Structure 1
Amino acid sequence: AWNTDLVRKHIANIAREKPDALIINQGDWTFPYDSVDAVKAFMLETQDIARVVIFSYKEPKVPGLVAGMAAGGGLKRIGIPFQLCYGAIDKDPKVLEELMDILRFYKKQSGVSEKVKEAIKALGKQKYLALGGMALKMPTTTCDVDQWQKLFGITYDALDQSEMKIRALKMIRWKGKPGESDYEIIDKRVKEAIDYLYNEKHGNFDFSRESFKSISKFVYQLCFYYAALDLCREYQATFAGIKCQDELSSRDCTVCLATAFLNNDVGPDGKPKEIIPVACENDMDSALTQLWMYLLTGKPAGFGDFRDVENGILAIVNCGQHPPYFFGRSDEDSVKKLDAVEYIGQEHFYAAGGSAVRGRTPEGEIITVARLARENLRYYLVAMPIETVEVSPEEHKKYSLSWPIIKGKIPIPDKKLIEIWPCNHLGFAFGDLTYHLAEMAYRLDIGYRIFDRKGREYFKPS
């Protein structure tokens, strides 16, 4: 095609077949505007996004690569993502393999498009509840709630952390200092949870550390969980963030139980419950990332901390909780996973003490790690799949004794992971959700850097 009419005629014929991807073939020099017009015409004809491959044939005597790069530059300027594949496809089998890898990714991306559309529609029905303000002076935990409303239709409310404490204190009659004295349980939910986890031994309790000397502190922590749950229900919040540090963690207790079980699909009483994506440290964009994953899967999504990356292995070691859902295999019964949880005293950073929610994710699982963030105030998404490796209980000594661990093989070099990741936090979920996330970010016109299992980057400008 060498003029606008021909471009539109060819595209109309292609669009009628409803392909999953559009290949722009640059065997030699073509006019870049025609290639850009072809993509835009395809989107107009299909009334949908275009998953674009620019293929440039490798023949140094003719400017196929030049044409491909020029067309790609035109698409970048208007924010349309594409993959450029370059090589002698008739002579080099690796080029064909590369092209097929891209097309397979696009095929899977197209295959989840209806699910993604449902998730995007659901975004407009979500409400975030901030329990506390910014934690530990971390700017990346805050967001512009007007931007949330404009981009996603998400509404917002905020309460002081003291609202949790007020409600928690009504659940127990303490004979001395809350969490450190004898008690009488008033709220039957707390009794049911203590009976299930502690008295019936669905979990492993360790009172050897100074920060967690008796079940009293655990009872107090459970009260904060139910207080947060009640507040989410009362304010019709569908996802949330809890500051914790350092007002609660230094004066009352850590709220690890609250974040772990709000995120979980089973409560501390061993009964199924609604999943409420929640981020520690009131990290709003992490909570939003977890929400995306939950809307796409209907399953729990956790909040994690980068701790180390070495020899292609990422260590996710959160400051006191992962949802118990991740302490077993993805297909394992969620109730049984509660038996694997280790309740052990928190680290010395938290003066009030309390129990962490410790466990290890088994090897051989595919987990997607992701983070929505802002670059120059514009949203973008980073994501990739990791394959989990076995974690020995002895490894807790290498990091922080009471904290849960996920370790997984990453598809890109260690230094590149550190360079491209937007901050110290991430969301994680079982399964390879990179296709879903690429489709969702594209449809929401959000930039992304998403890596597949082979480390190939799928990119959209922010």
Structure 2
Amino acid sequence: MARIGVLSISDGRDFVARDLVEHITHATTALAEALRKEGHEVIVAPEIVWTNELATSQARWLADRRPDLTIFNYAVWAFPHFTMLAAESTPGPLLLMANIDPAQPGMVGMLAGGGGLDQIGRVHARAWGDIDDPAVRERVLTEVRAAQAVRGLRGSTFGRIGGRPMGMYTAVANTDQWMRTFGVDVEEIDQWEIVRRSENASQARVTQARQWLEAKGNVHYDGKQLTPDLLERQIRTYYAMRELIDEWNLDFSGIKGQPELTTHFCTMDLAEAFLNDPYDWEGPKDTHVCATEADMDGALTMQILKLLSGDPVLFADVRHYHADKDVWDLCNSGQHATWYAARSDDPEENLARTHFYPEVFFFPAGGASVHHLAAPGAATFARLTRRDGRYRMHVMRGDFELYDDATNEAMARQSTFEWPHAFTRLHVPATEFLGRFGSNHIHAVPGDYIAELEAVCKQLGVEFEGFGDAA
């Protein structure tokens, strides 16, 4: 649910403004009720703006309620300087909404006010028409969802566990830039905290978790790389992360893992998968975005996608391209939430399709890989990257695909079979993707969020780079 502020702006001539009150009130009520029916909280400024003093005082009154999005409503011609004064007192995302009525030129007021905002560089979005029109309502709701995500970022904290992994420049971001652009702080935490805190969980709790995994999933012990003791060690790292999240009030996080933990302690595959899941062995829970390899821009992309969709977010390497099928294998060590196996609210459905295999030779410390194949369906793919120090977001559509069992296994074995795989048909030519994409990591959620991501980018001052049919 978003909190939306509505400020209605009118003509500055008193003898005109008096005659427009009923018309404006009717339009404002219709807008507010339509948004409330969508489940949002709507706060309407007590007075219609028709003087410069009201423009400032009513905007400040709304700002004090800290809306996710403020809507300036134009049901009639409105003096443009009222828009400018109100915007000056209105932090956060802004939407100008106008009616289309030949008798009352609200559209003219929106264009005049919006033009003034353009001149001073104030970012805003615009919508026009009857709010009862589904297309118009969706345009407004797109901005609502984007603003809710943007406001959800601001004031949040990212927990960076460990440092730069294996020399990846794209996994490390400037904390000053994060605060300036996104309003996100970074808490630096050493990986030793995971090792140290792993002993804090009670043995009874750890045993119960292991038995749940053995009963619900498919655990393939080999006596070397994966044993009950190693699986319990991985479970303890999950509890260590939950402890860190609670203690440091982390909104999302990333774990370096390689090479220290993966060589000398255990892999973080299990912890990362279940942090991103909407459940664990103790029942339903909130998802917590956790990126492997402490990928900061990856985690930030995931957090935006989570705030937009409410779903677990996929993290993967762009591992392989099957040119004969025009299909990509998006695969990374254990990182995908098990929810992607069936995309079911019932964890048993997802775990029935999940296998916990012994880790491969890359990770001598051992533990379980969390293997499954992403269930088919349309998805939105995105990644924040930087060009010459400035943020941009790569965005594209695609589809997860599955085939017959033999084909699925043959394709998965061409890379690292034990890891999770998302066979993906991107709606962009491979030559364009490989020639432009600015990272080895990519992220996704089911559904179409292209419009919302474009709105998020505009609100944040980030360049939107659509690929293929998202351009």
Scaled by the length of structure 1, what TM-score is found? 0.72
SS state at 2:233 partner: helix
Query: Is 1:344 equivalent to 2:357 in the alignment?
Result: yes
Offset of 1:380 from its aligned partner? 0.6
Query: Is 1:169 equivalent to 2:199 in the alignment?
Result: yes
- Provide, for residues 252-291 of structure 1, a one-character-per-residue CA deviation record: whole Å limited to 9, x for no partner: 1111011111111111x15111211011000000000000
Offset of 1:355 from its aligned partner? 0.7
Q: Distance in 2 between matches of 1:352 and 1:18?
A: 66
Structure 2 matches for 1:20-419, cutoff 5 A? 40-41=115-116, 48-50=124-126, 110-171=140-201, 186-198=202-214, 201-208=215-222, 210-212=224-226, 214-267=227-280, 269-309=281-321, 310=323, 311-329=325-343, 332-363=345-376, 365-391=377-403, 392-419=408-435
Offset of 1:396 from its aligned partner? 2.5
- Provide, for residues 203-254 of structure 1, a one-character-per-residue CA deviation record: whole Å limited to 9, x for no partner: 0011248422x21110111101110111011100010010000000000111
SS state at 2:284 partner: coil
Offset of 1:167 from its aligned partner? 0.8
Match of 2:23 in 1: none
The answer on whether the counterparts of 1:254 and 1:353 sit within 8 Å (CA) in structure 2 is: yes
The answer on whether the counterparts of 1:371 and 1:427 sit within 8 Å (CA) in structure 2 is: yes
The answer on whether the counterparts of 1:249 and 1:351 sit within 8 Å (CA) in structure 2 is: yes
The answer on whether the counterparts of 1:190 and 1:223 sit within 8 Å (CA) in structure 2 is: yes
The answer on whether the counterparts of 1:127 and 1:157 sit within 8 Å (CA) in structure 2 is: yes
Q: Distance in 2 between matches of 1:428 and 1:15?
A: 31
SS state at 1:118 partner: helix
Give the residue type in structure 1 aligned to 2:217. G
The answer on whether the counterparts of 2:275 and 2:288 sit within 8 Å (CA) in structure 1 is: yes
Change (3 A) 1:395 1:16: closer
The answer on whether the counterparts of 2:320 and 2:415 sit within 8 Å (CA) in structure 1 is: no
Match of 2:14 in 1: none
Q: Distance in 1 between matches of 2:112 and 2:223?
A: 66
Q: Distance in 2 between matches of 1:110 and 1:384?
A: 22
Q: Alpha carbon RMSD of aligned pairs, Å? A: 3.0
- Provide, for residues 366-424 of structure 1, a one-character-per-residue CA deviation record: whole Å limited to 9, x for no partner: 12111011111001100112111105234321111211100121111111111221110
Q: Distance in 2 between matches of 1:289 and 1:257?
A: 21
SS state at 2:279 partner: coil
Q: Which moved more, 1:189-198 or 1:227-236?
A: 189-198
The answer on whether the counterparts of 2:170 and 2:439 sit within 8 Å (CA) in structure 1 is: yes
Q: Distance in 1 between matches of 2:240 and 2:220?
A: 25
Q: Distance in 2 between matches of 1:421 and 1:37?
A: 39
Match of 2:60 in 1: none
Q: Distance in 1 between matches of 2:382 and 2:443?
A: 5
Offset of 1:325 from its aligned partner? 0.9
Give the residue type in structure 1 aligned to 2:99. E
SS state at 1:169 partner: coil
Q: Distance in 1 between matches of 2:328 and 2:138?
A: 26
Offset of 1:312 from its aligned partner? 2.7
Which structure has more RCO (C-alpha within 8 Å, separation ≥ 6)? 1
Give the residue type in structure 1 aligned to 2:391. Y
The answer on whether the counterparts of 1:367 and 1:429 sit within 8 Å (CA) in structure 2 is: yes
Give the residue type in structure 1 aligned to 2:435. E
Q: Distance in 2 between matches of 1:110 and 1:376?
A: 33
Query: Unaligned regions of 5+ residues in structure 2, if any?
Result: 1-76, 81-95, 102-110, 129-133
Match of 2:463 in 1: 447
SS state at 1:230 partner: helix
The answer on whether the counterparts of 2:164 and 2:172 sit within 8 Å (CA) in structure 1 is: yes
Give the residue type in structure 2 aligned to 1:155. D
Query: Is 1:456 equivalent to 2:465 in the alignment?
Result: no
Number of positions where the alignment pairs a residue of Structure 1 with one of Structure 2:
359
The answer on whether the counterparts of 1:260 and 1:321 sit within 8 Å (CA) in structure 2 is: yes
Change (3 A) 1:108 1:424: farther
Match of 2:19 in 1: none
Q: Distance in 1 between matches of 2:97 and 2:207?
A: 61
Sequence identity (%): 25
The answer on whether the counterparts of 2:213 and 2:219 sit within 8 Å (CA) in structure 1 is: no
Q: Distance in 2 between matches of 1:195 and 1:305?
A: 31
Match of 1:423 in 2: 439
Change (3 A) 1:429 1:105: farther
Offset of 1:196 from its aligned partner? 1.3
Give the residue type in structure 2 aligned to 1:338. L
Query: Unaligned regions of 5+ residues in structure 1, if any?
Result: 1-8, 20-35, 53-103, 172-185
Give the residue type in structure 2 aligned to 1:17. N
Change (3 A) 1:244 1:434: same
Q: Distance in 2 between matches of 1:445 and 1:388?
A: 31
Give the residue type in structure 1 aligned to 2:328. L
Give the residue type in structure 2 aligned to 1:219. E
Offset of 1:320 from its aligned partner? 2.5
Change (3 A) 1:107 1:386: farther
Q: Distance in 2 between matches of 1:447 and 1:145?
A: 19
Q: Distance in 2 between matches of 1:47 and 1:316?
A: 35
Q: Distance in 2 between matches of 1:368 and 1:145?
A: 27
The answer on whether the counterparts of 1:320 and 1:357 sit within 8 Å (CA) in structure 2 is: yes
Offset of 1:105 from its aligned partner? 10
